[in-house]
A = this chain, B = another copy of it.
Amino acid sequence: MEMTLDEGKEKFIQSWGTLGSNWGINRTMAQIHALLLISPESLCAEDIRQELQISMGNANMNLRALIDWGLVYKKLKSGERKEFFVAEKDMWVVIRQIITHRKKKELEPMIKVLDEISSVQPNSEESEAFCKVIRDIQLFSSKADSTLDTLIKADSHWFVGTFMKMIK
C-alpha cells in the first residue's frame, strides 16, 4: 500500500510521540525529535511551532530538553539572527545518548537506594526474604550497569552486525 511523504511524516511523528509517551518521555519532546530527525534542513523554533501546532514556550522547553539529552544541536546560520536546530542523525549515537541519559537518571539512583537498603539485617523470616530480593535486584542492577557502560563505550555499530551470538 502506497503512502505519501506527508502521510508518512505525520504517521512517524505521531508514532514516535506515542512510543516516547509510553516510556515516560514527554510526547511533544518525542514529536519534536521525530520532526528534526526526518528534516533534511535545520529548523527554527517557529518552524517547529507551526509544524506541530504548539506554543513557542512549549517548543522552546522541549528543544532545551532534547539538547540536554544530546539528541539535538543548535546551529547558527550566518546572516540569520535566530537559532536553528538539527537532530543527531546517527542512530547508534541516538541510542547511546538515550541509554546514557536514562542510566544516569534511573539506574544509578536505584543502585544507590538498593545500597542504602541493604543495610537491613536479615534476622527474621521477613527480613531474610527482604534481603534476598534486594540482593537479587542488586546483582541484576550492577550487571546491567556494567553492561551498559561497555555498550556506551563500544562506539562501533555493533547493532547492525551479528549480535545474536552474544547471548549464550
Contacts and interface: CB of A to CB of B under 8 A. Distances in A.
Given A3-B120, A19-B106, A167 B143 contact: no
B15 A113 contact: yes
Identical chains bound together, number: 2
Interface in A105-143: 105-106, 110, 113, 116-117, 119-121, 124-130, 133-134, 136-137, 139-140, 143
A22 interface: yes
Given A22-B106, A113-B15, A168 B164 contact: no
Interface stretch (A48-56, A58-66, A145-153): A145-153
A129 B39 contact: yes
Contact of A8 (B23, B105, B120): B120
Interface of A: 1-5, 7-9, 11-12, 15, 19, 21-24, 37-40, 89, 91, 95, 105-106, 110, 113, 116-117, 119-121, 124-130, 133-134, 136-137, 139-140, 143-144, 146-147, 150-151, 154, 156, 158-160, 163-164, 166-168
11 contacts: A3-B119, A8-B117, A12-B117, A12-B134, A22-B24, A38-B134, A40-B129, A143-B159, A143-B160, A143-B163, A146-B164
Contacts of A166: 166-167
Contacts of A151: 167
Contact of A3 (B5, B116, B139, B159): B116
Given A19-B110, A117-B11, A91 B5 contact: no
